[in-house]
Structure 1
Amino acid sequence: MTGRIKAPTGRYGGKSAEERQAERRRRFLDAALRLFGGGPGYRGTTVAALSEAAGLSTRQFYEEFRALEDVLAALHLEVNAWAEEATLTAVAGARHLPLAERATAIFRAYAANVTADPRRIRITFVEIIGVSPRLEEQRLARRARWVELVCAEVASAVARGEAAPRDYRIAVTAFIGSVNGLLHDWSAGWVDATLDEVVDELVRILLGILQPRDARLAGA
């Protein structure tokens, strides 16, 4: 298949062509979350199986996507966008808090979102791995975006005198790997702890990286 089939135009059933297309795309993505994230996984799913799960035809699939990889790519970005939105909302609401409380509020919001549905964790940390060079590039680019977000918060802590000034990029990159790995293992049942305990441990790791000038800045 060299390109997508052109979608019809005009109104049908009270919906525009754009509305119908958006609805079809949503149904394919919802079905992909069920199959890629909870069922046979991306590698065990076919276009026919995904179309059937969405209640649509394979012809309609190719009106929206070129291949299953495009669905996984879109779903991976969407799951990350949901988590980023929750995180940025927490960042905005925690600006007045001291460092330890601020970090806890932010990571609690992120962890709550990404673990709310175990299928999201599987999409983000499992199914996306090793699919293709294109998706590996997307995965690393998305991780880099998270690194930038945390680095921005670290810079804010430095500006407030809550952290020692230095280049934190390598440390933050390592920290993001710890976040991803620990949340995946917790979701898989390999870590015997509550989610709050996991978040508290991640916050302690981050505070240790920041090396506050005064231990009181990190809180009790």
Structure 2
Amino acid sequence: MTGRLRAPTGRYGGKTAEERQAERRRRFLDAALQLFGDTPGYRATTVAALSEAAGLSTRQFYEEFRTLEDVLAELHLEVNDWATGAVLAAVADADHLPLAERAAAIFRAYAANVTSDPRRVRITFVEIIGVSARLEEQRLARRALWVDLVCAEANRAVVRGEAALRDYRLAATGFIGSVNGLLHDWSAGWVDATLDEVVEELVRQLLGILQPPGWESARG
């Protein structure tokens, strides 16, 4: 025999160990989106049920996660990251537009992303609530990032002469609560309106905050 054995490559089935691990983790997260975000929900899901839905073993689950709460935490962050990416892209694309059109484009992007899959709405606004102090801290931290984003856009509008000069943090916090509540209720079928009508209402609320009665642009 004249051939030589090749050195190990760390690949199996054309994939590295890291790629196979990432694929398993993805399968667990996809299964969690279905079970947590639909039926039976996070609290009624077991490790065995999640593993079965992912087509993997419970042993493989514990190689990736400590608890189901860890899965929910990662999924909550991921859903928020998807929405954040959509919003930041819309902010960049709409930068040249007047305030009302800019706000509409941004909120349309957010609403379209979050409501494109009802499971995302449930993960973001329902399943994450009341699970633990740790997840409540995570939820509020992500909410604070959305408040920061609204404040940043409000302050940019001030610089452009499109909005009143003020501290927007309290108003932005209240406004984010309105956004979350209205989109949740719309997704649950409790609001008789189209998504465009929901976005239009949110834009009217935001403009009312940025441009209160009696305010006139210094550039007017």
1:11 Cα deviation after fit: 2.1
Distance 2:216 2:53 in 1: 56
Kindly provide the amino acid, as one letter, of the partner of residue 214 in structure 1: E
Kindly provide the amino acid, as one letter, of the partner of residue 82 in structure 1: W
Distance 1:90 1:121 in 2: 20
Secondary structure at the residue paired with 1:91? Answer: helix
Kindly provide the amino acid, as one letter, of the partner of residue 88 in structure 1: L
The equivalent residue for 2:183 is 183
The equivalent residue for 1:3 is none
The equivalent residue for 2:162 is 162
The equivalent residue for 2:132 is 132
Question: Percent same amino acid at aligned positions?
Answer: 84
Per-residue Cα deviation, 1:163-196 (whole angstroms, up to 9, x for no partner)? 1100010000000000000000000000000000
Secondary structure at the residue paired with 1:60? Answer: helix
Per-residue Cα deviation, 1:28-84 (whole angstroms, up to 9, x for no partner)? 000000000011000000000000000000000001000000000000000000000
1:13 Cα deviation after fit: 1.2
Kindly provide the amino acid, as one letter, of the partner of residue 60 in structure 1: Q
The equivalent residue for 2:37 is 37
> TM-score if structure 2 supplies the norm length?
0.92
1:198 Cα deviation after fit: 0.2
The equivalent residue for 1:214 is 216
The equivalent residue for 1:55 is 55
The equivalent residue for 1:203 is 203
Distance 2:179 2:206 in 1: 10
Gaps of 5+ in 2: 1-8
The equivalent residue for 2:152 is 152
Larger Rg: 2
Kindly provide the amino acid, as one letter, of the partner of residue 119 in structure 2: R
Kindly provide the amino acid, as one letter, of the partner of residue 68 in structure 2: L
1:14 Cα deviation after fit: 1.3
Kindly provide the amino acid, as one letter, of the partner of residue 140 in structure 1: L
Kindly provide the amino acid, as one letter, of the partner of residue 160 in structure 2: R
Distance 1:104 1:211 in 2: 15
1:214 Cα deviation after fit: 3.3
Gaps of 5+ in 1: 1-8
1:12 Cα deviation after fit: 1.5
Distance 1:14 1:48 in 2: 29
Kindly provide the amino acid, as one letter, of the partner of residue 72 in structure 2: L
How does 1:65-76 map onto structure 2 within 5 Å? 65-76=65-76
> TM-score if structure 1 supplies the norm length?
0.92
Kindly provide the amino acid, as one letter, of the partner of residue 196 in structure 2: D
Q: CA RMSD in A?
A: 1.3
1:211 Cα deviation after fit: 1.8
Distance 2:67 2:10 in 1: 26
